Structure 1
């Protein structure tokens, strides 16, 4: 494999690994918000921002942590026959199926950019009583989808390298 492809794979993998390890701590932030929500409902006036904030944190956790999960190959997969295949056969099949993923992510990125631009241009807010601005979560969503595309291309390059018998070492 050419050096520029190896460099691309290493840089994308390194960035998504670091971001994924940071983002995984959002679970604790999410737990704190939900704990505060429960306590405020029992002992104080219920806070109207907690459940929507929990949704936003979960969206960021899911979409920004997705590339890291994909990198670790820990996402959900139908493993009826796939698990029995050799690494080379898996790589060959993955080379073809990843194009479906890239098409799906391309449509999602297009919609995410369009939605983010709308939120920024018009100052879109949520329809809840808290009414937060939607731009920050839409930016995180679009960034997560973009990083997932970069990680998908990295995985495609690694699969082609395995297919050719020249695996790229993980960083």
Structure 2
């Protein structure tokens, strides 16, 4: 028997959130106070970062217009598009984990009980995602510090200065991924071990 608590379809808001304003799922893990706080924090950042895609589209439109209508190419604008794409993508990873929209094999998961799914998710977080994210963050910090010390800029003529700003998002993005993974981990342990106590 599937023990996963679930919202009824009528409890979903138009934006896909549940009554508490947090992402609603058809297969719910129990929520905890800490996981709710982490999820709300990541959702705020993700919602703010979603405007990057609007700016990216405006930048692409401007660049295409400059190139094909006015015959002028701007290197800094092309690089800025890459910056926005990279930032939006890396921030979006933690948002996808929070919304439970990351890649998984649902054809198998739909056949498993809630406890089996929670065990697999817990083991995946502990042995795969968290070690990988922590290793990347650990290596990215000195990489970023070197870039700041060198006041690194684009090697292309007319390119953007302050490349370290883009590189800093490797650290911020993976810190958010670690937080999102910890939130999911706490929700798994709440289901499996009743710790921390589910809300």
TM-score (norm 2): 0.76
SS at match of 1:126: coil
Does the 8 A contact of 1:102 with 1:152 survive in 2? yes
Gaps of 5+ in 1: none
Alignment of 1:10-159 (within 5 A): 10-44=36-70, 45-99=72-126, 100-129=128-157, 130-159=159-188
TM-score (norm 1): 0.88
Structure 1 runs (4+) deviating above 3 angstroms are 165-169
Aligned-residue CA RMSD (Å): 1.9
Aligned residues: 165
The structural deviation recorded for 1:33 is 0.6
SS at match of 1:39: helix
The structural deviation recorded for 1:82 is 1.9
- 72-81 or 112-121: bigger deviation: 72-81
SS at match of 2:110: helix
> 1:168, 1:47 → 2: CA distance?
54
> 1:83, 1:146 → 2: CA distance?
30
> 1:131, 1:75 → 2: CA distance?
32
